[in-house]
């Protein structure tokens, strides 16, 4: 074979044409450099009898709230330690919550119902105890008091949190959660345990089941019930709007002095379109006087010719997680490593619907920016009365003199509950990478300066990917975990050591996945192997990607990949095309050489 010819300028056009053609012929090379997403892994897991709704970790035990069961698992290998049966429950109109209704089993009106776990909370202030709230018995809760040094025992001492002798039908502070959907956040304030609750309700909950849309209630010191501190401790969607204006509470969290809820609801009472809102009020405000809400938007922008910009809005929040950012991401989004960041995965919905499509994005909202946005627009003209709570003719719709500085949580009796119409926008950090996927779960953790996202999909796939604004990152972990969607409810634990893990729910199954990745063998090329994040500790050994201790023959490297010939094509009698994929110091390329 002759040496490569020196090319005259006159044949550069011909060379460019041939290289383009050879690039098309070298698709096999690119395919060989992709990651194997069909790998199977043996991971610690547990399968329940029924679907799992909630998970919480306490004292090296994992507590699962499932339909009709509460399970206790060992943290290390997810082996079942104990279980407690919560249903089915016989309900009858003449039975109080938690009352034995077996004598009415054959009477008309009695119905056996599955008990869906709506909330699972650990309290260590009054007692070391687990509080579970279910869909039956009007949404009441139970206390499982742990015996001393025996956290796994949830059967020995169980108490119903209900006080029938003082309940008022119009209030029922012990009726906590809705079977249609609820988010519960517990917090210790002024030496008391407060429950902040957001409920999806419709006309079936009025007036016989007096559940509230959003509320704050205190656990009594006697621990046999809850109490509202004032008649302003709850806000309700008006009965005439409950069927036409559903509110889905997606996530709840606390940051500094504020409580936050994230919802999906119609843009207005009359609108057919849905969007996402963030609700904020002071955690010490028992009357919810500081209640505010505004839209959140996760957008994808695409620069086009003539300087125009195409903007796509991902309007439906699917899951959220609040954590600190790594140093690199913090710099990129104008935050500090100590700031709380709200990470959310959003989907585009079908027209005039809250049903998500397989088109997702991920955005990060620094909480300090959320608060700044509330503070800046509180006295602007982009305010609207909360008509779904008050009706259009209520006095609060709208007296501007009641607006105050919203930056603090000082005690006040005046009313300034309101809704802002201007949306706080952030840009998709994955730059459209998940435009054909429905993301259903997110959590994050830090490795070095990097922020890593754990993502789950509606098809049961689990991924790990570096979060960065400098460019889209390819997932370094991507495998099919289960055939069921990945739940938004996740646990991330021990992020600072080598034993860190995340707990991921898919239907009836929970799986423990290491944070440091799942080895290296799913990387099929040297270039892909060396592109993995440093904490995964992958390197190239002879012809495979492994960690250093797995390289038993050959040289293990994390620095350079030698060129590899993946295709030799002879398209006619006068030239030969060599396609090489190479990687050098984190620079990846595909080159075709023409020989004459």
CA angle 8/11/17 to nearest 5° reads 140
Distances 396 to 191, 414, 422 between C-alpha atoms, Å: 33, 11, 20
Long-range contacts of 58-61 (CB under 8 A, 24+ apart): 58/122, 58/130, 58/151, 59/151, 60/151, 61/151, 61/152
Say if 491 falls within a structural domain: yes
- What does the CA dihedral 113, 114, 115, 117 come to, rounded to 10 degrees? -140
Say if 446 falls within a structural domain: yes
Contact in structure between 364 and 425 (CB atoms under 8 Å): no
pLDDT band at 216 (very low <50, low <70, confident <90, very high): very high
Say if 579 falls within a structural domain: no
Same domain, 462 and 556: no
**Looking at 492, 517, 542, which one is the last position of a domain?**
517
Say if 408 falls within a structural domain: no
Say if 141 falls within a structural domain: yes
Same domain, 167 and 36: no
Same domain, 459 and 536: no
pLDDT of residue 5: 43
CA angle 280/284/285 to nearest 5° reads 65
Both structure tokens of 438? 């429905």
Same domain, 222 and 295: no
pTM of the model: 0.89
Say if 248 falls within a structural domain: no
Say if 463 falls within a structural domain: yes
Same domain, 68 and 202: yes
Q: Among 23-37, 121-135, 206-220, 501-515, name the one with the lowest average pLDDT.
A: 23-37
Q: Is the pLDDT of residue 78 over 80?
A: yes
DSSP calls for 392-409: TTSTTS--GGG----S--
The closest of 253, 369, 360 to 315, measured between CA atoms, is 360
333: containing domain: 257-275+289-403+415-517
* Each residue's pLDDT tens digit, 322-346: 999 999 999 999 999 999 999 999 9
The closest of 510, 504, 511, 500 to 489, measured between CA atoms, is 504
**Looking at 517, 534, 562, which one is the last position of a domain?**
517
Which residue has 């069909």 as its token pair? 38
Instruction: Identify the residue with better confidence: 367 or 415.
Output: 367
Say if 6 falls within a structural domain: no
Backbone angles phi, psi at 371, to 5 degrees: -65, -40
Domains in the chain, number: 3
The closest of 345, 358, 320, 361 to 458, measured between CA atoms, is 358
The closest of 432, 474, 485, 484 to 452, measured between CA atoms, is 474
pLDDT of residue 10: 45
pLDDT of residue 29: 47
Same domain, 185 and 323: no
Domain of residue 545, CATH code: 3.30.1680.10
DSSP calls for 520-532: STTB-SHHHHHTS
Contact in structure between 139 and 179 (CB atoms under 8 Å): yes
Q: What is the layout of strands, in order, in the sheet containing 61-66?
A: 52-58, 61-66, 69-74, 80-85
Dist CA 508 CA 188 (whole Å) = 32
Same domain, 93 and 174: yes
| Interval 295-309 mean pLDDT | 78
pLDDT band at 81 (very low <50, low <70, confident <90, very high): very high
Q: Which helix (H) or strand (E) holds 467?
A: strand 461-467
Same domain, 506 and 531: no
* Each residue's pLDDT tens digit, 233-272: 999 999 999 999 999 999 999 999 999 999 999 999 999 9
The closest of 273, 207, 193 to 236, measured between CA atoms, is 207
| Interval 71-93 mean pLDDT | 96
Same domain, 539 and 419: no
Same domain, 474 and 376: yes
Determine the 3-state secondary structure of 381 from DSSP: coil
Same domain, 190 and 309: no
Domain of residue 98, CATH code: 2.130.10.10
Backbone angles phi, psi at 295, to 5 degrees: -75, 150
Same domain, 492 and 502: yes
pLDDT of residue 21: 46
Dist CA 354 CA 317 (whole Å) = 10
β-bridge mates for residue 296, sequence order: 276, 424
Secondary structure, 3-state, 173-242: CCCCCCCCCEEEEEEEECCEEEEEEEECCCHHHCCCCCCCCEEEEEECCCCCCEECCCCCCEECCCHHHC
């Amino acid at each position: 074979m002759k040496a490569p010819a020196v090319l005259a300028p006159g044949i550069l056009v011909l060379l460019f044409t041939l290289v383009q053609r050879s690039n098309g012929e070298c698709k096999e090379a690119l395919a060989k450099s992709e990651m194997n997403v069909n790998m199977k892994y043996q991971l610690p897991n547990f399968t329940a009898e029924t679907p799992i709704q909630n998970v919480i970790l306490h004292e090296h035990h994992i507590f699962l709230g499932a339909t009709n069961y509460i399970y206790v698992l060992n943290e290390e290998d997810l082996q079942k330690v104990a279980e407690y049966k919560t249903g089915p429950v016989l309900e009858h109109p003449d039975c109080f919550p938690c009352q034995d209704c077996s004598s009415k089993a054959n009477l008309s009106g009695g119905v056996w119902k599955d008990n869906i776990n709506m909330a699972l909370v650990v309290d260590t202030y009054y007692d070391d105890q687990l509080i579970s709230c279910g869909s039956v018995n009007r949404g009441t809760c139970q206390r499982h008091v742990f015996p001393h040094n025996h956290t796994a025992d949830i059967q020995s001492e169980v108490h119903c949190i209900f006080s029938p002798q003082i309940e008022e039908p119009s209030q029922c502070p012990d009726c906590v959660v809705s079977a249609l959907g609820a988010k519960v956040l517990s917090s210790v304030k002024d030496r008391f345990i407060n429950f902040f609750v957001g409920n999806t309700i419709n006309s079936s909950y009025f007036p016989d089941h007096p559940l509230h849309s959003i509320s704050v209630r205190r656990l009594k010191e006697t621990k046999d019930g809850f109490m509202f501190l004032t008649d302003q401790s709850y806000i309700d969607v008006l009965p005439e709007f409950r069927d036409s204006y559903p509110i889905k509470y997606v996530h709840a969290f606390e940051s500094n002095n504020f409580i936050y809820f994230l919802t999906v609801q119609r843009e207005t009472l009359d609108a057919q379109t849905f969007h996402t809102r963030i609700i904020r009020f002071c955690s010490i405000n028992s009357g919810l006087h500081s209640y505010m809400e505004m839209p959140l938007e996760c957008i994808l922008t695409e620069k086009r010719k003539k300087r125009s910009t195409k903007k796509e809005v991902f309007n439906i929040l699917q899951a959220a997680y609040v954590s600190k950012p790594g140093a690199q991401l913090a710099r990129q989004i104008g935050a500090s490593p100590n700031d709380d960041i709200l990470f959310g995965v959003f989907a585009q919905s079908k027209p005039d619907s809250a049903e998500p499509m397989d088109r997702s994005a991920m955005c990060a909202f620094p909480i300090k920016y959320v608060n700044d946005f509330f503070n800046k627009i509180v006295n602007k003209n982009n305010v609207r009365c909360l008509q779904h709570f008050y009706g259009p003719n209520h006095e609060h719709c709208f007296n501007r003199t009641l607006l105050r500085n919203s930056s603090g949580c000082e005690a006040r009796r005046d009313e300034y509950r309101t809704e802002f119409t201007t949306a706080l926008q952030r840009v998709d950090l994955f730059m459209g990478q998940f435009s054909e996927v429905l993301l259903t779960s997110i959590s994050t953790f830090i490795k070095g300066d990097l922020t890593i996202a754990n993502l789950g999909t509606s098809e049961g796939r689990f991924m790990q990917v570096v979060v960065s604004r400098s460019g889209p990152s390819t997932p370094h972990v991507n495998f099919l975990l289960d055939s069921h969607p990945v739940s938004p409810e996740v646990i991330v634990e021990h992020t600072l050591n080598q034993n860190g893990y995340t707990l991921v729910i898919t239907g009836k199954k929970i799986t423990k996945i290491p944070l440091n990745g799942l080895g290296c063998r799913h990387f099929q090329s040297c270039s892909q192997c060396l592109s993995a994040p440093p904490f995964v500790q992958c390197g190239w050994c002879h012809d495979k990607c492994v960690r250093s201790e797995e390289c038993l023959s050959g040289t293990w490297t994390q620095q350079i990949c030698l060129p590899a010939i993946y295709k030799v094509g002879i398209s006619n009698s006068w030239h030969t095309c060599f396609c090489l994929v190479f990687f050098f110091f984190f620079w990846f390329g595909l080159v075709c050489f023409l020989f004459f």
